Chains A and B, each alone.
Chain A
Amino acid sequence: MTKMPDSNVTDGRTDGCALQVLTLGLGGEIFALESAQVREVLDMVELTEVPGARSFVKGLVNVRGKVVPVVDLKTKFDMPALPPTEDSRIVVIEVSRNGEDSMVGVLTDRVLEVTELPQATLEDVPRVGMTWQPDFIRAIGKRDGDFVIVMDIAAIFSSEGPGGRRKTQP
């Protein structure tokens, strides 16, 4: 394990040699979140639905006395929705929005581990031929032969609806 710089944790892309992430599975793909942004992992609980919420917001959950919205990134990424399984988890992350931090729960199909992605393996997102909007992706790393897509949380939560921009673009 390489030594990790403690400055600018939220940025994640340090000039150190590794990026510490939490890998998780969504659909058949493996995504990664910067571990600095992850607050904790919860077991799947019953969600309190919120009427009038945006489509990717699945409901509310109580995390140690705080009401936290839970979103489904698969809706955001236009991936097919799946029913929760035994491995489904809610990953509580900290999102800095409009200058203030807030907590958001992300529905994941499974949580793999906390690991480090070496900086050398990270590559920029190719501009063509991608399923997802490249804005939401910070980098693509490799781990054990699989691609690990490192999500850009700030970009995701700053956008409006599920694929809103992409839909309005054409």
Chain B
Amino acid sequence: MRFTIKAKLAVGFGLVVVLAVGAAAIGLRSLSQSNDMIRDMVENDMVKVQTVGQADAASEAAGRHLLNLILATDSTERNGYWAAVEEQMGILSASLTKLRGNATAQEQALIEGIERNLAEYARGAEKARQAAQRDAEARAFAMTQQNGANRAFQIIVDEVRPVRTALNEQLRQLIALEEANLAAKVAANDRALSTAWSVMLAFMAATALIGLAVALWVSLGIARGLNQAAGLAQRVAEGDLTARAEYRNADEIGELMGHLNTMVLRLRDVVGEVLSASSNVAAGSQQLSASAQQLSNGATEQASAAEEASSSMEEMSANIRQSAENAAETEKIAARSADDAEQSGKAVTEAVNAMKSIADKITIVQEIARQTDLLALNAAIEAARAGEHGKGFAVVASEVRKLAERSQAAAAEIITLTGDSVTVSEQAGQMLSKLVPDIRRTAQLVEEISAASREQTIGAEQINTAIQQLDQVTQQNASAGEQMSATSEELAAQAEQLQAAIAFFRTEEDKAWSAPALPRGEPQARPVASSRPGRAARPSKGVKSLEPAFLGIPPARKNGSAQGFALVMEDGRDDEDARFERY
């Protein structure tokens, strides 16, 4: 188990608290005891003293009233004083009874003596009253005071006063006794109080000592750890990421040290990664710039190509419109052709019929020729039979027969031709009748082509619009590419600046670190610009060119550098600028 600060504080303060509570408990107990004593004194001893005082006062009052009774002249007055005497004696008796309630043996003896004297005093007082009564009656009878008028007084002097003196003496003793008791109790109380004081003082001293020791122990440990942490933080603030804290205690400070070391390690990794990433970003943004320039050029070419395409599309649209008109014309022609073909079919049918009738007629001619032939043959036979006389006739018959045969052959040829013609014409008719629906179908198709061409015209116009929009977009792209090129160049500059800024951190011991190590304890005195030698050591043109701008930033702005640098692109020209095109 680790002995952490929490545990140390808990143990120390626990000890202190326990001691304080013990002291408080002792004080409380003493207070309570003292309170009990005082209450006892007030409730018992003071009451006893008071009661004894009352008894003493009552005794004195009874004596005074008895004297007044004797001195009184009329009976009414005497009765009044007697009542007062009896009252005071009752008070006295009651006081004694009250005292007897919790009396000590010594007091009891005194009280019993007082009661005996009181009873004797009562009897004497009664006797004195009766004597006074008689004295008064005698004075009334004798009308003089000199004779026998002082018996009551005598009784008092002789009998009552000694009793009363003893009574008073006993009362005095009782008062002294009670006061002595009270004084003893006060002294005891004082002793107890002083003892409690001593104990409490001892506890408080122990508490103070322990608390002081624990506070010193804990605070010294914390201060040592915090000093180391502060030293580490200061070195990190100076940019030294190679620093490490050596603190091995297994408490919270040790944990903090471990975390701080881990943090510095991570920071070192991060800074290294940022360095490489920023160089990558710089290179990448240069490439990006070139690519953006290419993109821009390409977009410009694309825009011109889109314009060409647009004009081509317009030509195509005109062609399509022309095609649509041609198709409509063709449609009309096809419809007309269909009608013509139909009529041609009818004509062919008529021609076929005509040729058939021709064939019939020719058959008659053929028959006539045949008959003629036969006749000529018979004539030839007759001529032959006629012998020498029929010679001429035979010649004629022969000629006639030749003519007939020629007629026959011609007729046969005509019949053949007619038959062929009929066949051909019928085929032509069939073909024509087949042609008609084809032509009608052609007309329909051409109509559809016409409609399609109209739709194509609309589509071509839409395409043209789209191409024009494309052209606009491409031109926008071209300008955007140029802007991107400029932006990426800025990005490259910023990446180099980032490299310069991050070079403030030293991540390796062997790395060039020309900045003199400032004495610890005054980190605020270290200016940010003191890391310039480290940055200047890096052979970076961009950084060199940006140096004035970077240094021109007021310190107040540097705190906000986490949100970005304020770049002053106009400044920091150098010879290398001539190699780059400015956008």
Contacts and interface: CB of A to CB of B under 8 A. Distances in A.
A38 interface: yes
Contacts of A79: none
Given A41-B374, A43-B374, A114 B387 contact: no
A36 B388 contact: no
Interface string A31-56: 00001101111110000000000000
Interface of A: 1, 3-4, 6, 9, 20, 22, 35-36, 38-43, 86, 89, 111, 113-114
A35 B388 contact: no
B377 A4 contact: no
A35 B381 contact: yes
Max chain B Cβ within 10 angstroms of own Cβ: one of A35, A43, A89: A35
A9 B387 contact: yes
Given A3-B388, A9-B387, A113-B401, A40 B380 contact: no
Contacts of B492: none
Contact of A38 (B381, B391, B394, B398): B381
26 contacts: A1-B391, A3-B388, A4-B387, A6-B387, A9-B387, A22-B384, A35-B381, A35-B385, A36-B384, A38-B381, A40-B378, A40-B381, A40-B382, A41-B378, A42-B374, A43-B370, A43-B371, A43-B374, A86-B370, A89-B374, A113-B377, A113-B380, A113-B398, A113-B401, A114-B380, A114-B383
Interface string B357-382: 00000000000001100100110111
A122 to B, nearest CB: 17
Given A41-B374, A113-B401, A114-B384, 13 more contacts: A3-B388, A4-B387, A4-B388, A35-B381, A35-B384, A40-B382, A41-B378, A41-B381, A43-B371, A43-B374, A113-B398, A114-B394, A114-B398
A110 to B, nearest CB: 11
Max chain B Cβ within 10 angstroms of own Cβ: one of A38, A43, A89: A38
Contact of B381 (A1, A4, A86, A114): A114
B365 to A, nearest CB: 15
Contacts of A114: 377, 380-381, 383-384, 394, 398
B376 to A, nearest CB: 10
B331 to A, nearest CB: 56
Max chain B Cβ within 10 angstroms of own Cβ: one of A6, A41, A42, A89: A41
Contacts of B382: 40
B377 A6 contact: no
Contacts, number: 45
Contacts of A35: 381, 384-385
A113 to B, nearest CB: 7
Contacts of B377: 41, 111, 113-114
Contacts of A41: 374, 377-378, 381
Given A1-B391, A114-B380, A36 B374 contact: no
B466 to A, nearest CB: 83
A153 to B, nearest CB: 15
A43 B378 CA distance: 11
Max chain A Cβ within 10 angstroms of own Cβ: one of B374, B381, B401: B381
A42 B371 CA distance: 10
A22 B381 contact: yes
A114 to B, nearest CB: 4
Interface string B291-328: 00000000000000000000000000000000000000
Q: Which 8 A-B residue pairs are closest in the complex by CB-CB distance?
A: A35-B384, A114-B380, A6-B387, A40-B378, A41-B377, A114-B384, A38-B381, A20-B384
A87 to B, nearest CB: 9
Contacts of A111: 377
A60 to B, nearest CB: 21
Contacts of A38: 381, 384-385
Nearest to A20: B384
Contacts of B381: 22, 35, 38-41, 114
Contacts of B391: 1
A114 B384 CA distance: 8
A20 B384 CA distance: 8
Contacts of B385: 9, 35-36, 38
A41 B377 CA distance: 7
A4 B387 CA distance: 7
A42 B398 CA distance: 17
A6 B384 CA distance: 10
Nearest to A4: B387
Given A22-B381, A113-B401, A114-B394, A6 B374 contact: no
A38 B379 CA distance: 12
Nearest to B391: A1
A35 B378 CA distance: 11
A89 B376 CA distance: 14
Interface in B363-421: 370-371, 374, 377-378, 380-385, 387-388, 391, 394, 398, 401
Contacts of B370: 43, 86
A22 B397 CA distance: 14
Nearest to A3: B388
